[in-house]
Amino acid sequence: MEEKRIDLGKILKQQRMMVPLTLKELAVASSVSSSHLGRIERGERFPSARILRRIARPLGFDEDELFTLAGFLTPTGEGVAGESSPDYRGRQLDPYVARILAEEPVEVQRAVISILTILKSVATGLTTVK
């Protein structure tokens, strides 16, 4: 569990820096103290579902994606021939990608999910500009 705490904190910090937001700006946007957010990023505290819900939007996450990263939700969905594959907000990953991703360590899975989230937000932004 300790490894999961540190990993989630690192992911949240990386995402905050990519948005970009300072710790103080995130604190204002989420109504969570900057000292508590700092402890979460350092892996000293694990965020509750209530805290995750507050920081999801300012960090650019869908709530369910952040809850999945934190381990509160498990990916669901059915792949090819009954194989389980992650399904985020009704959008199922390609069965081949899901199968390959499932073989990777959890930290790699989280990083890929973060990258896919960023790409999704960029793609959504491009389609709304047209």
Per-residue pLDDT tens listing for the chain (130 residues): 455 555 889 889 988 988 889 999 999 999 999 999 999 999 899 998 889 999 999 998 888 888 888 877 766 543 333 434 444 444 455 566 666 676 777 778 778 877 877 877 777 666 555 5
Spatial separation of the C-alpha atoms in residues 45 and 4, rounded to whole Å = 11
Beta bridge partners of 88: 91
CATH number at residue 21: 1.10.260.40
Q: What is the largest CA-CA distance in the chain?
A: 48
Q: Residue 87 belongs to what domain range?
A: 2-129
C-alpha dihedral sign at 95, 109, 59, 18 = negative
Spatial separation of the C-alpha atoms in residues 62 and 95, rounded to whole Å = 22
Residue type, 110: R
* Residues 54 and 25: beta-carbon distance below 8 Å: no
DSSP SS3 for 91: strand
Helix ranges (DSSP H) in 19-78: 23-30, 34-41, 49-59, 63-70
Residue type, 111: A
Number of domains in the chain: 1
